[in-house]
Structure 1
Amino acid sequence: MDAVANVLVGLVAALHAYIMVLEMFLWEKGPGRKLSGFDPAMARATAPLAANQGLYNGFLAAGLVWGLIAGDPTGFRVQVFFLVCVLVAGLYGGFTANRRILVAQALPGALALGAVLLAG
């Protein structure tokens, strides 16, 4: 179960690194605009906000990687903390902004959290 948990945590970290790149560097380009659904003017106007969101997603990814490489009990605790952050952010975003966030962010976070808790 430990290997499954580590793979799921790694996938959630990779997802958040990808979101960071989209929001920080590709927001006004095709992939970012496809994600947001914004026209060029709205993408340009919201780029600073998206970059800020992207930075936070990068922190989530970094924390999850830290949890993977740190020895226990620190690694376990760090993984739980950052996965709870991912889950809360996904639930908040899903209920306040876009329901797709529930599937794209909250569900992977919840699955990884469950696996980590079972393995721990």
Structure 2
Amino acid sequence: MNTLLIVLVLLVAAEHVFILWLEMFAIPSALAARVFGISQTVQSQPEIRRLFANQGLYNGFLAAGLIWSVLAGPPLAASLQLFFLTCVVVAAVYGAATANKAILWKQGGPAIAALLVWLAVHLA
């Protein structure tokens, strides 16, 4: 079960590294246009690129925290996993409420799965 938790945490981290890359470096691309549902014309505006880059940085912090949680020894690892996975879920709930309902499942789904496994590992 612990191995499954680590795999899920790393999956959530990888997703946020991908989002970082997409928002910070690939925002004017066709892929970003498809993922975010906005035109490349809008994406190429400097102020939009700055806003996306800022969001990307935050996603990078989430990824860094999740990776740290895997590398940290006990008992710090469990607390870090709980904190950063919860942050991802809260961000997904907020994103679903304010931007796009699909965010809850696309970003929140893997984190929710990891949190359920975390609960099974640490509260069993």
Q: TM-score range by the shorter chain?
A: over 0.9
- Name the counterpart of 1:24: 24
CA distance in 2, matches of 1:85, 1:103: 15
Q: 4+ residue runs of structure 1 moved beyond 6 angstroms? A: none
Structure 2: stretches of 5+ with no match in the other structure: none
Alpha-carbon offset, residue 41 of structure 1: 2.4
- From 107, 115, 118, the equivalent of 2:117 is 115
Identical positions, percent: 45
- Listed one character per residue, the Cα deviations across residues 33-89 of structure 1 (whole Å, up to 9, x for unaligned) are 111222232102311111100000000000000000100110110010000000000
Paired residues, number: 120
Matches within 5 A, 1:11-90: 11-45=11-45, 46-90=48-92
TM-score normalised by structure 2 residue count: 0.93
Q: Is the 8 A contact 2:30 2:40 kept in 1?
A: no
TM-score normalised by structure 1 residue count: 0.96
Kindly provide the amino acid, as one letter, of the partner of residue 54 in structure 1.
Answer: G
Q: CA RMSD, aligned part only?
A: 0.9
SS at match of 2:100: coil
SS at match of 1:99: coil
